[in-house]
Structure 1
């Protein structure tokens, strides 16, 4: 039986984590044995095991922004030296046909795979378009070790190829495959009184969480009874941002109108949403936007990177400039004031998302790239 080793940098259940589950499912359905290396235990472990994959917890260096200083670089280098022999041993023990490195934040797996005699595939979920050219080159140069590079949007492809032109011929776009809710679409359950705006995603400056708070404050300042629910948590080291958000939410213009529920089942909260917002400043793809469309909820998203490829403004949802709370507030108000139009956009969005971002297409394309060529 063909074996594939998947390496991933997280054990949570956000976009790239959930996409890893879809990749594992695709490979299992194609008859491969799947082993997944994760740096720690977390909720992703259960999802992967339910998909038929074996999971190993492996100490591995993960590139974070905190490493972008002399002390961080030295620490990352020492961690790499310490862990590389065991990682090479894991690849040699499983003798996989392919190692799939899921994100550019664990580039050491690309080198480890080559050292073990395996040609890896890298699935890129990042698009650091605004980073300085040396940073972009540094992030993407390790991809030269991959036999194939999979990106989740045209934006991500342009960033990769723009940084390292030699990667053009081996880079392929495969849009994420995003499952819909179980059964029929969620129906708003009443939830809190007044209009309910929902944001699902990490609490992060990149996700524009602060923009959503300022937009809801503007709506409330206009006399609208609007509440905001934030479904997500922060990366370790970003607790300061959550503190800032909570301080902003406690000010008089928002006091009592913002709920922090932590990581939660997105379908439950979509069912309570009058409008879903995805106000990201940076978003290589945007699984949450697709989930909102598949849940048939009115959607307002930033016109940036992968989100601009997902949402067709005025046809399947509304698109607004990133980082603009006034524009976000105006678009939300527009949907709240015209529920019939909001419902038409949501219905069109659901159909479009099912056609372009379905899991069957994704699984077929990924299995074709990763598994041995036949015939």
Structure 2
């Protein structure tokens, strides 16, 4: 049996968090023993423990923008070595075969690989455009220390190779998977009509994602505000929270919503755990990320739920959505084109047919079973 140590950047329940939970709970426990170490308490830790996964919390530092200054570098470095040694002590006497780093924001694996004398898989979920120095630095670490790099999409793989530090044969592409039984068109969502005071004949268009600088909430509002006038039955939904310390982003978003005359048909909700119901509730999911999103889990979930996706034509969404078949893609960072694509799907009611094709595509190419099988094969070969 292989002991696999997983390091992750948080304990919430957004994309990469869900993928980690899906992977470690789905592995064949007669072949693999997962040990997860998280940097803080949270819902992910609770879910892991509920599933019987060996889980610990060690408050190791995560690479964030707040450390990109002289004092931050000193603080990060001090905590990095202190907490890495704490993890080594925690695992004393354990034979760790593989370290699986689940994000580029966690660098502790570099230290632990040497101390624990094991192989390393670096699982890359990000496309880092800025700061370019950080992109180059992380690419160097991946190329120099990883025994195998797993990219969540071809877009991520190509971005890593373009750095000049990561060789093509180091990187495998393993698409994330989704539980098509949990995310399906028949999930009960009736309670949402009552909770959000929405009529049952409403047209429901929404987005789900972290409220940050690039997930595109502003583009979503820009692309839909005129459509609210055209379609009296149209309701908009924005679901998501900001990082701790960036709550001001939510305040600003609410101000923008209130400034729209039809704001009584715009529902904002911070992070929720009932995403299967929300996906089956929506008629169309919008993916307006202004930076290329590597392989957004929310798109997998929506498509699995029979909900078509309209997004910008960049990043991993272009590998998930077949434009004109299982969804529509708009010109990058062009809210007007995004508006036209939404209008097109609403006007002819084609979102039902698009949604049916979207679910078929997920089952054929992005199943949870295929995702877990691919990682199991990778681990076995190391």
Match status 1:288 vs 2:321: no
Q: Which residue of 2 aligns with 1:327?
A: 337
Question: In the aligned structure 1, how far is the partner of 2:361 from the partner of 2:312?
Answer: 18
Q: Which residue of 1 aligns with 2:145?
A: 145
Match status 1:45 vs 2:45: yes
Question: In the aligned structure 2, how far is the partner of 1:53 from the partner of 1:106?
Answer: 20
Q: Is the 8 A contact 1:26 1:367 kept in 2?
A: no
Match status 1:208 vs 2:216: yes
TM-score by length of structure 2 reads 0.91
Q: Is the 8 A contact 1:26 1:364 kept in 2?
A: no
Match for residue 245 of structure 1 among 235, 253, 258 = 253
Q: Is the 8 A contact 1:298 1:335 kept in 2?
A: no
Summarize deviations over 1:278-314 as a string: whole Å, max 9, x none. 1112301111111111100132122111011111110
- The RMSD of aligned alpha carbons is 2.0
Q: Which residue of 2 aligns with 1:55?
A: 55
Question: In the aligned structure 2, how far is the partner of 1:266 from the partner of 1:183?
Answer: 8
After superposition, the Cα gap between the structure-2 partners of 1:224 and 1:156, relative to the gap in structure 1 and judged at 3 Å, is same
After superposition, the Cα gap between the structure-2 partners of 1:313 and 1:285, relative to the gap in structure 1 and judged at 3 Å, is same
Question: In the aligned structure 2, how far is the partner of 1:260 from the partner of 1:94?
Answer: 47
SS at match of 1:205: coil
Q: Is the 8 A contact 1:198 1:273 kept in 2?
A: yes
Match for residue 198 of structure 1 among 185, 196, 206 = 206
Question: In the aligned structure 1, how far is the partner of 2:105 from the partner of 2:171?
Answer: 18
Q: Is the 8 A contact 2:160 2:166 kept in 1?
A: no
Q: Is the 8 A contact 1:198 1:270 kept in 2?
A: no
Uncovered stretches (5+) of structure 1, i.e. residues with no partner: none
- What does 1:158-197 correspond to in 2, within 5 Å? 158-182=158-182, 185-186=185-186, 189=190, 191=193, 192-193=198-199, 194-197=202-205
Q: Is the 8 A contact 2:102 2:123 kept in 1?
A: yes
Q: Report the alpha carbon displacement of residue 55 of structure 1 after superposing the two structures with TM.
A: 0.6
Question: In the aligned structure 2, how far is the partner of 1:153 from the partner of 1:353?
Answer: 15
Question: In the aligned structure 2, how far is the partner of 1:226 from the partner of 1:70?
Answer: 49
Question: In the aligned structure 2, how far is the partner of 1:68 from the partner of 1:253?
Answer: 40
Uncovered stretches (5+) of structure 2, i.e. residues with no partner: none
Structure 1 residues 144-153 or 69-78, which shifts more? 69-78
Q: Report the alpha carbon displacement of residue 9 of structure 1 after superposing the two structures with TM.
A: 0.9
Question: In the aligned structure 2, how far is the partner of 1:112 from the partner of 1:87?
Answer: 8
Q: Which residue of 2 aligns with 1:72?
A: 72
Question: In the aligned structure 2, how far is the partner of 1:241 from the partner of 1:212?
Answer: 15
Structure 1 residues 305-314 or 231-240, which shifts more? 231-240
Q: Is the 8 A contact 2:103 2:125 kept in 1?
A: yes
Q: Which residue of 1 aligns with 2:104?
A: 104
Q: Report the alpha carbon displacement of residue 173 of structure 1 after superposing the two structures with TM.
A: 0.4
Q: Which residue of 1 aligns with 2:351?
A: 342
After superposition, the Cα gap between the structure-2 partners of 1:149 and 1:30, relative to the gap in structure 1 and judged at 3 Å, is farther
Q: Which residue of 2 aligns with 1:304?
A: 314
Q: Report the alpha carbon displacement of residue 11 of structure 1 after superposing the two structures with TM.
A: 0.4
Summarize deviations over 1:165-213 as a string: whole Å, max 9, x none. 4432211100001112438523774831332212111112221111112
Structure 1 residues 294-303 or 9-18, which shifts more? 294-303
Question: In the aligned structure 2, how far is the partner of 1:9 from the partner of 1:290?
Answer: 21
Match status 1:4 vs 2:14: no
SS at match of 2:172: strand
After superposition, the Cα gap between the structure-2 partners of 1:263 and 1:14, relative to the gap in structure 1 and judged at 3 Å, is same
Structure 1 residues 324-333 or 10-19, which shifts more? 324-333
Question: In the aligned structure 2, how far is the partner of 1:6 from the partner of 1:300?
Answer: 33
Q: Which residue of 2 aligns with 1:276?
A: 285
Structure 1 residues 52-61 or 27-36, which shifts more? 27-36
Q: Is the 8 A contact 1:196 1:274 kept in 2?
A: yes
Summarize deviations over 1:299-354 as a string: whole Å, max 9, x none. 21221110111111101001112322222222112111112x22221111110111
Summarize deviations over 1:50-87 as a string: whole Å, max 9, x none. 44311100121100122222232222112213222112
TM-score by length of structure 1 reads 0.93
Question: In the aligned structure 2, how far is the partner of 1:252 from the partner of 1:223?
Answer: 15
SS at match of 1:289: helix
Q: Which residue of 2 aligns with 1:135?
A: 134
